[in-house]
Structure 1
Amino acid sequence: MPRIPVHTIDDAPADSVAALQKIAKQTGKVLNIHAEMAHSPVVMAAYAGIGDAIAQHGSFDARTREAIALAVGAVNSCDYCQSAHTISATRAGLTQEQTLAIRSGSVIDDPALDTMLAVVRDAAANAGSVEDTTWTAALDAGWTATELTEAFAHLAANLFTNYFNHYVGTELDVLAAPQLRS
């Protein structure tokens, strides 16, 4: 159950409106997560800021970004983000089976991406710490120090939304992600 009501563009605080409009244009509608973030202009600005930084300076393709989001969302048991990013991930070229594998912590037969996902899973599960063997495997798979550093921005962006959803109890307003097999 949500702890705070969702805003619309018409009733959001004035300092949140521009960011809310921009995000709604990108997503096609005002999603509950953003409508709840709008209560606090600082939350909207922080979310938009990291998103803008990734858009302007990031080097990962949509497939990689969405795979990272799914992996982090699964580690953090964020149903909202796993659902939203399953939709985005399939649009970015991942199959439904790959999204399920990523969420379950399995490999997807993309050795380079699998090693990157191992890095972000490790970091998400261990307060940012990554095992040296995991890090080295990613380097050996071809990821550069710059790319592994960039992955931290994606990790932080996803931790921000995962934790926000848990914090306020965001209700799902997108198609639920398929259930993981036991």
Structure 2
Amino acid sequence: MTDFAVHSIEDAGESKPLLEKSKKAYGFVPNLHAVMAESPALLEAYRTVAEIFDNKTNLSPTERQIIAMTNNRLNGCTYCMAAHTSIMQGLNIDEDVITSLREGTPIADPKLEALRVYAEKVNLSRGWPDESDVEALLAAGYTKQTVFDVIVGTAYKVLSNYTNHVAQTPLDKAFAKNQWSADAQPAN
């Protein structure tokens, strides 16, 4: 197995300014960012797409986390499942929503559930949802913009999920209490 470095700010080379921004934003450098620092292009792409997803879509924090967590679970990303669980807890997202996303079970709120299902369809179909999937999302009260904003969120998670798969990114202490395993989840 190839060993990938978890870079510090001091040894990050061209990625140093990006890791400094991460530390300022989070109070520490998440291991995901420290691993991504191997490729300044990857770290910049990830940070840029994350910022666009957070600030340029019309989705609420809960809705953005539904898209992120659905992709994290389907992609089997243990690091991102733990990290985003911690993020959702910090945002005071309802515990039943968090549990549903961690387990891949329906969310009680029908509109949020429609978003979860659509995000799942986009992921599982590799971007080929059926017209009926799009219509179900629109019927739930979302817009055509949301149809595409789900793709932005999916792209954001591909960058982090795939990085974590390849690098086997170690989980940060800050996220350890929310450790997750695909093997421990109930069958759908």
**Do they fold alike, i.e. is TM over 0.5?**
yes
Equivalence for 1:124:
123
Equivalence for 2:179:
177
Identity of aligned residues (%): 28
Equivalence for 1:76:
75
Structure 2 unaligned spans of 5+:
none
Q: Deviations over 1:38-71 (max 9, x none)?
A: 1111111111221232244222121111121111
2:155 corresponds to 1:156:
yes
Structure 1 unaligned spans of 5+:
none
Q: How many residues of Structure 1 are paired with residues of Structure 2 in the alignment?
A: 181
CA contact 2:54–2:64 (8 Å) conserved in 1: no
1:178 shift after superposition: 5.3
Residue aligned with 1:60, SS: coil
Name the TM-score, length of structure 1 as normaliser.
0.90
Q: Distance in 2 between matches of 1:166 and 1:118?
A: 24
Q: Distance in 2 between matches of 1:77 and 1:35?
A: 20
1:181 shift after superposition: 4.8
1:76 shift after superposition: 0.5
Matches within 5 A, 1:102-141: 102-141=101-140
Q: Distance in 2 between matches of 1:22 and 1:93?
A: 24
Q: Deviations over 1:15-38 (max 9, x none)?
A: 211211112222221111100101
* 1:104 maps to amino acid: E
Residue aligned with 1:127, SS: coil
Distance 1:2 1:85, change over 3 A: farther
1:100 shift after superposition: 2.1
CA contact 1:2–1:169 (8 Å) conserved in 2: no
CA contact 1:70–1:102 (8 Å) conserved in 2: yes
Equivalence for 1:11:
11
Equivalence for 1:65:
64
* 1:163 maps to amino acid: Y
2:31 corresponds to 1:25:
no
* 1:162 maps to amino acid: N
Distance 1:178 1:42, change over 3 A: closer
Equivalence for 2:95:
96
Q: CA RMSD in A?
A: 1.8
1:2 shift after superposition: 7.5
Q: Distance in 2 between matches of 1:130 and 1:168?
A: 30
CA contact 1:123–1:129 (8 Å) conserved in 2: yes
